[in-house]
Amino acid sequence: MKLKTIFFIALSFLGILFTSCRDSALELIETPTDKAITLDSNLTTLITQTTLKDGSADNIIDKSSSTSVQLPVEVIANSIKLTIQSQSDFQQIEDLFDLSVDDEDTLVITFPITVTFADYAKKELKSYDELEEIVSKALGQDDDDIECVDFQYPISFSVFNQNNELAETVELNSDEELYAFLLNLGNYTAVSLNFPINLINYDGTISIANSAQEVENIILANVGMCDEDDDNDYDDDDCTSCTTAAIDSLLVSCKTFKIDHFKLNEERLDSLYRQYTFSFDSNAVLTVTDQNASTTTGTWTAQGSGNDISISLVVEGLDLLNRNWRLHELEIEGDETELSLRDGQNRLKFESTCGNNSNDDDNSGSDDD
């Protein structure tokens, strides 16, 4: 997504004007230099990038983080017609895709559709060719939006005229409104932020800013701290609430797992491992038992949090399993628990019928594709 060019102008510092002949009722206020927002400042650029529209949420539909499809939209997913009314309905498409790991998933969009760009401009598209043209142009371009921090609205600005008089206070209630306001800063002589303002950090905590410099510091502190999900792997965010503690508790309490699905270098290998059961112990010991009740011990470790958890497996004699896997999903349905792991295009899924439903908060998504 390319940030729209903003033509910068320098704001002039004007002193307080005192005159006895003015009949204006406007308030005369000196613009505080630590609150002033200028078009040519690094802060304005950072705020603008933070307010750009993120188009990654619907990549399962348009395969583009540079656009968002305006809802509702009709699609046909694996021959099933769906009307997508809200973002929560994207899961319906994913569920259909996940019904089988061996089929070829297809999605047909019913045109025309309207897409919204990062700068909130809209365009009606009448065909796949028009959509593909937009998607191909965005490939390789810099991703300028900052997604790991958000403003908590409303926020307001004081707007001053050429006599340094407070002309009005502008209240903004969304990223789109703030973005449009910043694009039009050149229409004003001087603008200042009204503090305090709240920003929502990548981890959901709130930071309070009391100056322009603090706003800049908070935004910079959050840049790169989260997965902006700007790829087309639509189902790589299914473990948002997962923790290593929850994984440890669940795996240990379930006692035994079996391999349900194992694909390595595009080859299905799960049939070679159906004879084994796996027991994950809390002391990082992994015990593998074959059909003859012979056991082998190895190790397992989990590190990270949320959608960035890795699980390392090391078992002598089962070398194909031994790698640093990324946790994809931890799913609980009834008495069935599934642990889905990935390493690039490689897939490994463990299943257990432990009947443990204590970790439902970590349940998200479904089968691997």
User: For residue 222, what are its two tokens?
Assistant: 């959050």
Q: How far apart are CA 358 and CA 355, in angstroms?
A: 9
- Cα 173 to Cα 25, 87, 106, 152: the distances in Å are 28, 21, 38, 9
> What three-state secondary structure class fits 264?
strand
Q: What is the pLDDT of residue 335?
A: 76
* Residues 79 and 122 sit within 8 Å (Cβ to Cβ): no
Q: How far apart are CA 267 and CA 61, in angstroms?
A: 28
Tell which phi-psi region holds residue 271, choosing left (phi > 0), alpha (psi between -120 and 50) or beta: alpha
Q: What is the pLDDT of residue 175?
A: 97
Q: Which residues in the chain land under pLDDT 50?
A: 1-29, 236-237, 356-369
* Residues 89 and 82 sit within 8 Å (Cβ to Cβ): yes
Pairing state between β 190-193 and 122-125? unpaired
Q: How far apart are CA 54 and CA 88, in angstroms?
A: 16
Considering only CA atoms, which of 342, 330, 354 is closest in space to residue 277?
Answer: 354
Count CB neighbours of 83 within 10 A.
12
Q: What is the pLDDT of residue 238?
A: 54
* Residues 268 and 245 sit within 8 Å (Cβ to Cβ): no
The class level of CATH for 244-362 reads: mainly beta
> What three-state secondary structure class fits 345?
coil
| 212-222 vs 42-51: helix crossing angle, rounded to 10 | 50
* Residues 119 and 145 sit within 8 Å (Cβ to Cβ): no
Q: How far apart are CA 360 and CA 364, in angstroms?
A: 9
Contacts of 65 (CB under 8 A, 6+ apart): 1, 54, 55, 56, 59, 138, 143, 229, 230, 231
Q: How far apart are CA 222 and CA 225, in angstroms?
A: 5
Q: What is the pLDDT of residue 363?
A: 39
Q: How far apart are CA 3 and CA 365, in angstroms?
A: 33
Q: How many residues in the chain?
A: 369
Rg (CA), the chain: 27
Q: How far apart are CA 231 and CA 248, in angstroms?
A: 29
Domain boundaries, the chain: 27-52+146-222, 59-138, 244-362
* Residues 229 and 58 sit within 8 Å (Cβ to Cβ): no
DSSP string for residues in 181-217: HHHTGGGSSEEEE-S-EEEE-TTS-EEEE-SHHHHHH
Q: How far apart are CA 216 and CA 230, in angstroms?
A: 23
Backbone angles phi, psi at 89, to 5 degrees: -75, -15
